[in-house]
Amino acid sequence: MSNPTTVNQQKSTQHAILISEFGAPEVMKYQSGVSIPKLADEQVLIKVAYAGINPVDYKTRQGKGWGADNILKDKFDHDKTAILGFDVAGEVVSSNNEHFVVGDTVAALNFAGGCYAEYVAVDANLLAKVPNGVTLEEAGALPCIGQTAIQFMAFADIKKGEHVVMNAPAGGVGHLLIQLLMKKVAQDDIKLTVICSPEKYAKLDELIERNKLTGWIDYTKNTDFPDLQADVLLDLVGGDAGVRALSVLRTGGRVKVLPTIWVDKLKEAGNYKGLSVDGYGVEQNGQDMARVLQQVSDGELTLCIQQTYPLSEIAAAHRQLQKGDTFGKIVLKISA
């Protein structure tokens, strides 16, 4: 265990984004004088350099899902404010774990939140050191989407020669997932069709060799999707868009869906085809964090960052993400 000179001895407060209620982006308040977290056993204090934002962030802010349930129970019900943010990259400034020392640069997916701040305390088992060749900006963008993409790929269990259809191939998770799928196109002879707008389809050139795709469906056209007799649908959208996409599948086909809140809707809609529908939620862990960081470092994955905002402009960042047309990721810059 390290014997750190903690940041708390030099500085006791920080800037952070606080919420005291759920609602529109304006409920997020940029404030000074916020207490810096105290470390528990096996935790590490990080001076945050960058924090990625994800759809789960704005859904939590709106009061939806498990993140909002936790905030309600742990914070609002006790008249406490909450700090959003699950993605973090930065520098260790204090450590209660022997594997991480002051000065290490690290990244983590932290479901406890708190990353929209200058400092955050994170359980050491969620952390990975940032390898050479990966910037802190990239590391801050990667935790949620990177761990989701590699775990979702394993969860989908795609077999050799299967025809896979995916939607949202240019979003946060999608732009990494499509790169992993293209490896299976080459190695396992799978067929891959994507559902996206013409603008996003054009941008895929930055990530993959588009001529190796089996096909492309333009969802902006008011026509029925083709019956491709596909084996698997990877649905990263859900809702009515997910229901519309079911027509591409063969009878008895498989649907793997993010987020899990749409599983029941898709099961009901797919009953006529005997589809199996399963949802997946990412599991936070340091091993997968390290794995996906290394894939970026090795050039196996290309990470796209559309825009970086200062922490004080968090409301604008959320509004941009909610438009739903992001290519890659939006990131907050906290400190240099």
pLDDT (tens digit, 9 = 90+) per residue, 311-321? 999 999 999 99
- Helix axes of 55-62 and 314-322: crossing angle, nearest 10 degrees: 110
Rounded to whole angstroms, the Cα distance separating 190 from 203 reads: 22
Determine the average pLDDT of the residues in 159-182.
Answer: 97
Measured in whole angstroms, the distance separating CA 286 from the mean position of its chain's CA atoms is 15
pLDDT of residue 1: 42
Q: What integer is the mean pLDDT of 238-263?
A: 95
**8 Å CB contact between 294 and 107:** no
Each residue's pLDDT tens digit, 269-308: 999 999 999 999 999 999 999 999 999 999 999 999 999 9
Tokens (6 digits) for 28: 């997020």
User: What average pLDDT is seen over the chain?
Assistant: 95
Alpha carbons 237 and 64: distance in angstroms, whole number? 16
Please check the confidence at residue 235 and state whether its pLDDT lies above 70: yes
pLDDT for 336: 58
What pLDDT does 10 receive? 60
- Lowest average pLDDT, out of 32-41, 125-134, 169-178, 321-330, goes to 321-330
Between β-strands 29-35 and 305-310, what pairing exists: parallel, antiparallel or unpaired? unpaired
Tell me the mean pLDDT in the region 133-156.
98
Query: Average pLDDT, stretch 39-66?
Result: 96
The DSSP call for residue 82 is: B
Q: Give, in degrees to the nearest 5, the angle at Cα 180 between 134 and 173.
A: 70
Quick one: pLDDT at residue 330?
97
One-letter amino acid at 78 equals H
> Phi, psi at residue 46, to the nearest 5°?
-110, 130
- pTM for the full predicted model: 0.94
User: How many other CB atoms sit within 10 Å of the CB of residue 189?
Assistant: 10
pLDDT at residue 11 in the model: 82
Q: Are strands 191-196 and 163-167 parallel, antiparallel or unpaired?
A: parallel
CA angle 252, 180, 243 (to 5 degrees): 35
In the predicted model, what is the mean pLDDT of residues 146-163? Answer: 98
Q: Is there a cis peptide before residue 259, judged by omega within 30 degrees of 0?
A: yes
How high is the pLDDT of residue 134? 98
Q: Is residue 4 scored above 70 in pLDDT?
A: no
Residue 3 in this model has a pLDDT that exceeds 60: no
* Mean pLDDT calculated for residue range 76-102: 98
DSSP code for 221? S
